[in-house]
Amino acid sequence: MEPEIAALASAAGTTIVTLMATDAWQRTREGITSLWRRFHPERVEAVAAELDAAHDDLLASHTTGDPDTERELAAEWQGRIRRLLTARPEVAEELRTLLDELDPRAATAPAVAQQATASGHARIYQAGRDQHVTER
């Protein structure tokens, strides 16, 4: 289970820090603090404060052009999540669900892939959305 925990912690830490600089930050913060509230309620205030401090550090690093802060913060949160998962393996399923909900790609429209083959005198009309064809 250790490689699975490490992979999940890595994905979670990176996602948390990546979303700190987006409109999804408040939802991300609420999701992470709710995990701690359920599994380590005595630590929820400290975790919330650490999230806020990391958020402030990340925004400041974008202003100053510091390229290392984002990587360092991701590593810190990967470690915190890994320790939580090691102590409470039952957190894994809820964390996966949260990461799926926070995935920025989930909010975008799915890509359209089309393929067609015509032979003889056939015509092919394809569209990713509305299409109007008038033939005479």
The residue assigned the tokens 């806020």 is 52
pTM of the model: 0.73
Max CA-CA distance within the chain?
Answer: 74
- How many H helices and E strands in the chain? 5, 0
Domain ranges for the chain, please list them. Answer: 2-107
Distance CA 1, CA 56 (A): 34
Task: Give the number of C-alpha atoms closer than 13 A to the C-alpha of residue 49, restricted to the C-beta side.
Answer: 4
**What percent of the chain lies above the pLDDT cut of 70?**
92
pLDDT of amino acid 108: 53
pLDDT value at position 37? 95
Gyration radius (Cα) of the chain, Å: 22
Q: 14, 78 in Cβ contact below 8 A?
A: yes
Residue numbers of the chain with a pLDDT score lower than 70: 1, 104-112
Residue 1's pLDDT is: 57
pLDDT of residue 63: 92
On whether the CB atoms of residues 12 and 81 are closer than 8 A, the answer is: yes
Torsion of CA 22, 24, 26, 29, to 10 degrees: -100
Predicted local confidence at residue 13, as pLDDT: 95
